[in-house]
Amino acid sequence: MSATADDVVARLSAVLGDCLDTSEAARQDARADKSGHAASGLPLAVVHAQSVSDVQQTLRIATETRTPVVTRGAGTGLAGGANAGGGEIALSVRAMQRILEVRPDDLLAVVEPGIINAELNAALADYGLWWAPDPASRAIATVGGNIATGAGGLLCAKYGVVRDAVLGVDLVLADGRLLKLGHRTVKGVTGLDLTSLVIGSEGTLGVIVGATLKLRRLVPGTVATIAATFPDVRTAAEASAAVTASGAQPAIMELMDAASLRAVHALLSLGPPTAGAAQLTIQTDGPAADVEADAIAAVLQATGGTVAVTHDREEGERLLAIRRSMHPAMETLGTTLIEDVSVPRSMLPAMFDEIARVERDHGIVIPTVAHAGDGNLHPNFVFAGEVGPDGTVEVPPAVWDAADDLFRAALRLGGTLTGEHGVGVLKRRWLADELGDDQWRLQRDITRVFDPLGILNPGKVFAE
């Protein structure tokens, strides 16, 4: 059946009561994420779900009235994937933030989707446990959002991405049915792996309302942190590739180019870095941390780096704070298109060559940081944005042309369009270029099995 906007809001209000928010402020907030871009128009309302039942009732009404639904967590995404616009219901699961169960003997926890990464690990520390995924936004990002986008972070090379740390998910389908996917066991191969299919599906298959997480014991031993500066970013990239080739396994290996390093130093009121210098920040952990740090330092020195090593945890965190401040620093430069490509680790120097070429060819500066341990780069396209009549900021065509050039360079090097941010709205026009037409259609058709009416996060990921 079709229904007017007023009818939909009235039905939601009748069953959800105070969980329904129709204020303009709440609806404006639901239009945007941290990508710097917003959906057109205002959603009909924001549902602040407190329980699985709230989610189910919302989706039943949405199905009956053919009303699109966009699921949101903390709104920290970087691809526009959780932005809700005109005629849509914004379904927030941020208030569902309980830890339902912790089993130290089984190394698992069951949590609701709205819990913040850092808060989860603070609670798990009492059990001597932690959840390994470590996005740079860990202080503000939710576990549900991590799962929906297949998030990565700083520790991926050693400890894996979100996909490696989730045993199961509880998923509410578009018609309100609740599925419990996955398992609580170390091994489990019964039927198709629908848990892995849901991870990274960006709200197109259902609403994640719970997760069974695979935990680790807290890493024993010490932590050593290495800061190494290089005369240019290509040399730094070659050094990171040399570290990987040496067989060393740092927990963190982050690379910042000259432009990004300069912006962060200015933000944090640090002294200006050496002109043109790039920096690698590397951290080792565990019983062999000191030995590994010394071996890595030798590799970095042999590749032209000026190296400093600290064994003080607090000093190490201060060094990492420089890398974690990248996104706030970019905001000081103007409107930013924060991008995300990955290449094989051996191709990292070649990818920085391509970024330099794109800068020259298009006359644009692209500050770039990289999770050098896994080949994931974040080029930032900074521009002077103008707010349109609907409150959105349009990326100029010249910037998209430069981004297109950069994306295709990553694909030529055997890479991928997105390593951790997801497709959302920002990458959808290039998705078929990577997947090919047949796989693109197969993936889109799979979403229709879960969501026959196409009401879940429409217009995201798969664009005609």
Residue 84 shares a structural domain with residue 172: no
440 domain residue, yes or no: no
φ, ψ dihedrals at 144, nearest 5°:
-60, -40
| Helices (H), ranges, 135-189 | 143-149, 156-159
Q: So what's the pLDDT on residue 211?
A: 98
H/E stretch holding 450: helix 437-450
460 domain residue, yes or no: no
Residue 46 shares a structural domain with residue 109: no
Sequence letter at residue 366: I
Residue 184 shares a structural domain with residue 203: yes
Residue 160 shares a structural domain with residue 44: no
Measure the CA–CA gap between 49 and 183, rounded to whole angstroms: 25
Q: Where does a domain end: 197, 217, 237?
A: 217
Q: So what's the pLDDT on residue 1?
A: 52
Residue 118 shares a structural domain with residue 16: no
365 domain residue, yes or no: yes
Question: pLDDT 10s per residue in the chain (464 long)?
Answer: 568 999 999 999 999 999 999 999 999 999 999 887 789 899 999 999 999 999 999 999 999 999 999 999 999 998 999 999 999 999 999 999 999 999 999 999 999 999 999 999 999 999 999 999 988 788 899 999 999 999 988 898 899 999 999 999 999 999 999 999 999 999 999 999 999 999 999 999 999 999 999 999 999 989 999 999 999 999 999 999 999 999 999 999 999 999 999 999 999 999 899 988 999 999 999 999 999 999 999 999 999 999 999 999 899 989 888 888 988 898 888 888 889 999 999 999 999 999 999 999 999 999 999 999 999 999 999 888 776 665 566 889 999 999 999 999 999 999 999 999 999 999 999 999 999 999 999 999 999 999 999 999 999 999 87
Nearest CA-CA partner of 290 in 219, 222, 242:
222
Q: In the structure encoding, which two tokens stand for residue 307, read together? A: 């190296």
Contact assessment for residue 242 and residue 286, using Cβ atoms and an 8 Å cutoff: no
Residue 399 shares a structural domain with residue 292: yes
Reported residue count of the chain is 464
174 domain residue, yes or no: yes
The CATH code of the domain that includes 74 is 3.30.43.10
The number of CA neighbours under 13 Å toward the Cβ of 421 is 28
Nearest CA-CA partner of 179 in 163, 191, 187:
191
Q: Where does a domain end: 45, 66, 95?
A: 95
**Which DSSP string corresponds to 369-395?**
EEETTTTEEEEEEEE---B-TTS-BPP
Measure the CA–CA gap between 141 and 130, rounded to whole angstroms: 16
Residue 103 shares a structural domain with residue 188: yes
Nearest CA-CA partner of 161 in 426, 436, 416:
416
Domain count, the chain: 3
Pairing between strand 20-21 and 45-48? antiparallel
19 domain residue, yes or no: yes
Residue 131 shares a structural domain with residue 144: yes
Contact assessment for residue 343 and residue 318, using Cβ atoms and an 8 Å cutoff: no
Ramachandran assignment for 371, one of left (phi > 0), alpha (psi -120 to 50 degrees), beta (any other): beta
Regarding pTM above 0.85, the answer is yes
104 domain residue, yes or no: yes
List Cα–Cα distances, 387 to 81, 390, 391, 392, 393, in angstroms: 20, 8, 6, 6, 5
Pairing between strand 99-103 and 108-111? antiparallel
Q: Where does a domain end: 39, 66, 95?
A: 95
Residue 393 shares a structural domain with residue 250: yes
274: buried, middle or exposed (CB in 10 Å: 19+, 13-18, 0-12)?
A: middle
Tell me which residue range forms the domain holding 258: 222-412
The CATH code of the domain that includes 300 is 3.40.462.40
186: buried, middle or exposed (CB in 10 Å: 19+, 13-18, 0-12)?
A: exposed
Residue 333 shares a structural domain with residue 258: yes
Q: So what's the pLDDT on residue 178?
A: 98
Q: Helix or strand or coil: residue 116?
A: strand
Residue 319 shares a structural domain with residue 368: yes
Contact assessment for residue 431 and residue 461, using Cβ atoms and an 8 Å cutoff: yes
The CATH code of the domain that includes 107 is 3.30.465.10
Q: So what's the pLDDT on residue 331?
A: 84
422 domain residue, yes or no: no
